Structure 1
Amino acid sequence: MNKKKVLIITYYWPPAGGPGVQRWLKFVKYLPEFGVEPIVYCPSNANYPIIDQSLLNEVPSVTIIKQPITEPYKLAQLFSKKSKTISKGIIAQKEKQNLLERLMLYVRGNFFIPDARKKWVKPSVRYLSTYMSDFNIDTVITSGPPHSIHLIGLKLQEKLGVTWLADFRDPWTSIGYHKQLKLNKASKAKHKNLEKQVLNNADQIIVTSPSTKSEFEDITNRPIHVITNGYDSELVNVKELDSKFTLSHIGSLLSKRNPEVLWKVLQDLVENDKDIAAQFQLNLVGEVGEEVIQSIKNNNLINYLNRIGYVSHNEAVKFQKKSQLLLLIEIDSEDTKAIIPGKLFEYMVSNRPIIAIGPKGADVASIIKETNTGQYFNYDNYEGIKQIILHHFESYKQGNLKTNPIGLQQYSRKQLTKSLAELINPS
C-alpha cells in the first residue's frame, strides 16, 4: 500500500534543542506506521538559540529537504548578547531593560512581522511550489511558532490548491511575550490580520490545548483539533533516586515565571525544620532568569541551589526520573492558561510527584488531576504548597515517595500521532 505523502514545514529540527523541536521529531518518527510518508522541510543554516546534538540520533530515516534562511538575530548578536536571550523568549522586566534592549524589542516587534524569520517565506514558497508539483504532494503541514511558517502554507495553498493543516504549538497574538514587543497600533493590527488570514484559510487547525481551541473558535469556523504534546518511551535507565530531598525544575525558568510564594514556603521550611534543612536540594536544570536567582538569594535559599544549566534531552530525562519531586511553573497570567508545557507529559511518566504552580483555570491543572500525577496550586496558596511539601517529605523519609498515575496512554507520542494521521488521511 502506498503511503500518503505529506510535506511538513518546521523551523525547529535537530540539532535544535529545547521543547519546540520535540513535537514534530516524534510525529515524524511514528507517522510511517499509520500510512503517512513525512517529508520534512527546514532551514539549512538556522540560528537556533539552543543546540542539542544528541537529538540528531533520533532523526528517523525520512526525506529531509533544506534551504537557507536569512537570520536577523545573527546580525543582532554583533551588537548585543541580549539578542540571543530575546530569541529564547527571555525578556528582562520592563524597568530593567536598557536603551539597546528596548530598541531591539521595538525593532523585533514592528519591523519583523510576524517574526524575525519572515524573509524565509518567499524563497520557500518558490522552492516548494516546484518540489510539491514534481513529487505529487498535495498536503502540507506548517508548525509555528515562528508563525511566519504558517504564511508559507497560506501561499502554497493559494498557489497550488493543496490541503493545508496549520499546527499551533503556541497561540499567536496571545502568546506570553507578545505584549512585551512594544508593538505600535499598526503592528498590532497587522498581527491580528495575519492571524485571522491563517485561521480562516487553513483546512484544518491543530492546537495543543483546549484553551487555545476556545480562543481560536472566536476567530474562525474552521475545524480545530486538540492534539497535545506527549511522552515517548525514553530509553534512559536510572537505577536509584537522589539520596537528598530534591525538588527539580527542568527547562527554562524565565523571570516572569518567578514563584515568589514557593521560595517563601521553602525558606519557612528550611529555617524551621532541621530535618528538611539537612536533606533539601533545589535543582534548576536549564536557562534561569537572573531575577529568579535574586529571589532565591533574597529568601536565603542560595546554599540549597544546584544550578545545572542547559543539558541534553537525555540528561534532562535522567534528572526527571531520579528527582524526588518535580516542579512545574507557569506565569501567573490569563494569557498563560492555555500553555501545556511538553515536559509535563515526560514528568507524568517519570513516576515522580509533580508540584505545579500557575494561573487559575489553567489546562495543566485538569491534566494533572485527571492523571493523578501531582498537585496544582495557584500563586496565592501558600499554605497548600507548604502542606504538600511536608506531606511528600514524610513519604520521602519512609522511602515511599511515588505516584500512582492513571490514563497516561492517551498522551503517548504514538497514540497522538495516530490522531494526527487520521486528520491527514481520513478513512
Structure 2
Amino acid sequence: MAPKRVLMVAYHYPPCRGSSGLQRTLSFTRYLPALQWEPIVLSATPRAYATTGTDQLGDIPPSVIVRRAFALDTARDVSFCGRYPGWLAIPDQWISWSLWAVPIGLRLIRRYKPAAIWSTYPIATAHLIGYVLHRLTGLPWIVDFRDPMTEVDPVSHKRFPADPRLFRARARIERIAVTRCTRAVLVTRGALKIYQSRYPEVPADRWALIPNGYDEDVFASIAQVDPEGRRHRQRVTLLHSGVLYPTPDRDPRQFFRAIAQLKKDGSVSAETFRVILRASGSEGLYRESILALGIEDVVALEPAIPYRAALSEMMNVDGLLLFQGRDSNPAVPAKLYEYIRAKRPILALVDTDGDTAAILRESGIGSIAPLDSEEAITSVLRTFLDQIKNGTAPVAGDDCVKRHSREWGAKMLAGLLDEIARRQ
C-alpha cells in the first residue's frame, strides 16, 4: 500500500523544551510511518519557544517533513514594562502564529495532498489554524483536545481560564472544533465524559480516546540501571521531574510541611533522605518556603536537563513524585506513563476520585494522598519510605507497562485516519 499523508498542526515540537505535550506529537511522527501514514508537521519557529534544546531533534525521523511558521510570544516579545494589549493574546499568547501558519499550511496541502488535518491543544491557536485549513480545503479534521479547553468547577463555579475574554474565546474555538471536526480526541476517560456531557448533540461516534504514554524506543536507548547499586544506597531519593505550579493544581507546599514534620520527629534527615524537584519553575517561591521550614538540606531545586537524561534520572532514583489537585481530576499528567515505564515506586499526591488515581489503582501501584492535606501526606510518606527501605513498594509489571506505550496510541490514531480515508 502506498503511504498516505496527514498534516499535523502542533506548536510544541523539537527543539521546544519544557512541555511534556511535545512528546505526544513527536511519538506520533515516529510511529505513524510504519503504519502507512506519512506525517507533515506544521509547527512554530524556535524563537517563539521559551526554552529550546537540540537533544530531541535527532528523534525526528528523516522522512518527516517539518515546516515552521513565524510566531511571537505576545507576553515576551510585544510587552513593554510587562504590559501588552490583551487582544494580542486571545485565545493565547501565540495567536501571531496563525498569520503565517495558514498560508504555509495551504502550500503544504497543495504540494503534498494530505488525506487529513490533525491539530493538537494546549495551544488553542493550533485548533484555530486547523479549522481555517479545514474550511478552505474541505479536508477531514481530527481535533486532538487532550485536556478540556475550558473548565468550570461544579462546586466553586470558578472558570478556567479565569480571564473572561480568554474563556469566551476558547469556548468559541472549542464549540467550533467539536461541531465541525471529523473526530474529536481526548486523552482521559474523565475528559471524554466532560465533553460528551457538554455537547450531547454531537454523535457518539465522533468521540475517540487516545491516552498519552511513554516512548519505548527512547527508553531502550538509555543505559540500564544498576539495581544492586541502588539497593545499597544510604539515602532514599525521591524525584519530581517537571513543572509545578503555586496554585491548588500542583502546589508542593503541603508536601514541604510534611517533610518538615518527619524531619522534626527524626524520621528523616539530610543523611537518610533527599527530594529533587527537577525543572519545577517558581523556584524563588518554593525556595522561600523550603528555607522557612528548615528543609533546605533535604529538598533540592534543580535545573532542567536533556530529555533522555531526565528519563535516566527517573530510572535511577528510589521513588517518583506526582502532584495534582482535585481541579485536575479529569486530567492525567503525561509523566505518569514515563513513571510507570521507569518501574520505580510512585508517591501520588492526587485526589482519590481522579483519573490519575484510577490508573494507579488499576495498575496495582502507587501510594496515594490528597495534595492539600499535610496530615495525610505525612502519614503516607512515612509508610512509602518504609516500603522503599524494606523493598515492598509495588512497581509496574511488564504487562502493565506495555499497555501504556505511545506506539499503541499511534496505532489508535492510524486506525482513525484509515477509517476517515476509507470514507473519502
User: CA offset at residue 409 of structure 1?
Assistant: 1.6
Q: Distance between the aligned counterparts of 2:373 and 2:108, measured in 1?
A: 55
Query: Retained in 2: the 8 A contact 1:329–1:356?
Result: yes
- Deviation of residue 208 (structure 1)? 1.4
User: 1:78-89 to 2 correspondence within 5 Å?
Assistant: 79=80
Match of 1:227 among 207, 210, 220: 210
CA distance in 2, matches of 1:67, 1:274: 53
Shift of 1:74: 7.4
TM-score under structure 2 length normalisation: 0.86
Q: Does 1:294 align with 2:285?
A: no
For residues 10 and 31 of structure 2, the distance between their equivalents in structure 1, rounded to whole angstroms, comes to: 17
Task: Give the direction of change, closer, same or farther, for the CA distance of 1:153–1:307 in structure 2 (3 Å limit).
Answer: same
Q: Deviations over 1:116-153 (max 9, x none)?
A: 22222243222322331332222110112211111111
Rounded to whole Å, the distance in 1 between the matches of 2:109 and 2:195 is: 29
What's the counterpart of residue 409 of structure 1?
402
Q: Find 2:163's aligned residue among 183, 191, 215.
A: 183
Distance 1:199 1:126, change over 3 A: same
- Alignment of 1:264 with 2:247, yes or no, is no
Answer whether contact 2:251 2:371 (CA < 8 A) is retained.
Answer: no
1:281–1:305 contact (8 Å) kept in structure 2: yes
Shift of 1:167: 0.7
Q: Which of 272, 280, 286 pairs up with 2:273?
A: 280
TM-score (norm 1): 0.85
The verdict on how the C-alpha distance between 1:313 and 1:385 changes in structure 2, with shifts beyond 3 A counting, is: same
CA positional deviation for 1:283 = 0.6
The answer on 1:255 being equivalent to 2:246 is yes
Residue 137 (structure 2) aligns with: 160
1:393 corresponding residue in structure 2: 385
SS class of match (1:273)? coil
Aligned residue among 176, 187, 195 for 1:216:
195
Structure 1 residues 19-45: Cα deviation after superposition (integer angstroms, max 9, x where no partner): 121111011101112121111111234
Q: For residues 331-342 of structure 1, what are the structure 2 equivalents within 5 Å?
A: 332-334=325-327, 336-342=328-334
Q: Does residue 195 in structure 1 map to residue 174 in structure 2? A: yes
Gaps of 5+ in 2: none
- SS state at 1:307 partner: strand
Q: Distance in 1 between matches of 2:107 and 2:97?
A: 16
Q: 2:298 aligns with which of 295, 304, 315?
A: 304
The alignment of Structure 1 onto Structure 2 pairs a total of residues equal to: 399
Aligned residues of 1:410 and 1:416 also touching (Cα < 8 A): no
Contact 1:199 1:219 in 2 (8 A): no
Measure, in 1, the Cα distance between the counterparts of 2:36 and 2:362.
32
Deviations 1:371-412 (A, max 9, x none): 122122223554543333333333443456552435232211
SS of residue in 2 equivalent to 1:166? strand
Q: Distance in 1 between matches of 2:181 and 2:370?
A: 36
Q: Which runs of structure 2 are paired with 1:31-46 in the superposition (5 Å)? A: 31-46=32-47
| RMSD of Structure 2 on Structure 1 (CA) | 2.6
Distance in 1, matches of 2:358 and 2:113, equals 43
TM-superposed deviation, 1:12? 1.2
- The verdict on how the C-alpha distance between 1:306 and 1:384 changes in structure 2, with shifts beyond 3 A counting, is same
* Shift in alpha-carbon separation, 1:353–1:392, aligned structure 2, 3 A: same
The alpha-carbon distance between structure 1 residues 305 and 188, as it changes in their structure 2 partners (threshold 3 A), is closer
Is the contact made by 1:258 and 1:292 (CA closer than 8 Å) also made in structure 2? no
Distance 1:297 1:175 in 2: 35
User: Is 1:319 the equivalent of 2:313?
Assistant: yes
Letter in 1 for 2:354: A
Q: Deviations over 1:287-331 (max 9, x none)?
A: 33233322222322111122211111111112211111111002x
Are the structure 2 counterparts of residues 264 and 122 from structure 1 closer, same or farther at C-alpha, using a change threshold of 3 Å?
closer
Match of 1:420 among 409, 413, 416: 413
Question: Which residue in the other structure is 1:70 paired with?
Answer: 71
Cα distance change on mapping 1:128 and 1:260 into 2, 3 Å: closer
The runs of 5 or more residues in structure 1 that have no matched partner are 81-99
More moved, 114-123 vs 281-290: 114-123
- Equivalent residue number for residue 125 of structure 1: 102
Which residue in the other structure is 1:246 paired with?
Answer: 237
Q: 2:222 aligns with which of 236, 247, 251?
A: 236
Cα distance between partner residues in 2 of 1:243 and 1:400: 17
SS at match of 1:311: coil
Change (3 A) 1:179 1:328: same
Deviations, residues 48-85 of structure 1 (Å, cap 9, x unaligned): 112232111211122323243230447547746xxxxx
> What SS does structure 2 have at the residue aligned with 1:116?
coil
**Distance of aligned partners of 1:352 and 1:63 in 2 relative to their CA distance in 1, 3 Å threshold:** closer
Paired AA for residue 240 in structure 2: H
One-letter amino acid matched to 2:222:
V
Q: Distance in 2 between matches of 1:201 and 1:337?
A: 27
Question: Does the aligned pair in 1 maintain the 2:337–2:404 contact within 8 Å?
Answer: yes
1:353 aligns with 2:345: yes
Deviation at 1:114, TM superposition (A): 1.0
User: Alignment partner for residue 370 of structure 1, among 362, 370, 381?
Assistant: 362
Q: Which amino acid aligns with 1:64?
A: I
* Percent pairwise identity: 23
Q: For residues 411 and 37 of structure 1, do their structure 2 counterparts lie closer, same or farther at Cα, with a shift above 3 Å needed?
A: same
Matching residue's letter, 2:181? A
Separation (CA, whole Å) in 2 of partners of 1:180 and 1:210: 19
